[in-house]
Amino acid sequence: MIDRFLAARDTVEPPLDDAELVGILLGSVLGADQNILSVASKIAYVLLCRPVLWRRLAAEPGIAPRLVDELIRLIPLGNISAFPRIAGRRIELADGGVEEGDVVYPDAFAANRDPEVFPEPLLIDPDRTGKRHLQFGYGMHHCMGAALARMEIAELLTTLAAEFPTLTLDTDPAGLTWDSGVVLRRPVTLPVRW
């Protein structure tokens, strides 16, 4: 992939410089491989801590995409809510103003749990309808790997639940060690039994 980006860097206008290439590659690695690993392991953790959800997934594999999306809404990717943005113009808010050029830290965690948008926001409801969550960003800041992540995680969980419908967590959840980086957060191990 790196070789392809390097070979094609001059085919766009303006050509991509090294910093832009590094940004695209970092976004691709974080947005695909590491995000999928982190989110899949956290979703598996939640489902195994809530056996009724695991059993429902095993009995109704068609809910996997909706269940994954609902859990993505609730489970933060890491310890930061979203990458900072720079205000392109002055914006007046109820609590004051944001000036053009100010650094803004959007709070996707709070937005995805807003009870005015998501009734009973902490309830895991794969049958929830309504507005989309903001875990993958929005508009031009939407994650490049969102569709692939949803598809891979749903396929992984559907396959696991079909193969191991009695899968359970084989440890006290409170005793799990977590990799808690700035961007990504996930269990280091996820001991299971069936």
Structural domain span for residue 123: 2-193
Looking at per-residue pLDDT, the higher value among 161 and 133 belongs to: 161
Please name the residue ranges forming H helices in 9-76.
18-28, 35-49, 51-59, 64-74
pLDDT per residue over 26-77, tens digit each?
766 666 666 788 889 999 999 999 999 999 999 999 999 999 999 999 987 7
Domain count, the chain: 1
List the CATH number of the domain containing 151: 1.10.630.10
pLDDT per residue over 150-161, tens digit each?
899 999 999 999
Q: Tell me how far apart the alpha carbons of residues 20 and 114 are, in angstroms, rounded to a whole number.
A: 35
Q: Find, among 20, 26, 13, the residue nearest to 143 by Cα.
A: 26
pLDDT per residue over 76-107, tens digit each?
776 666 778 889 999 998 889 999 999 988 88
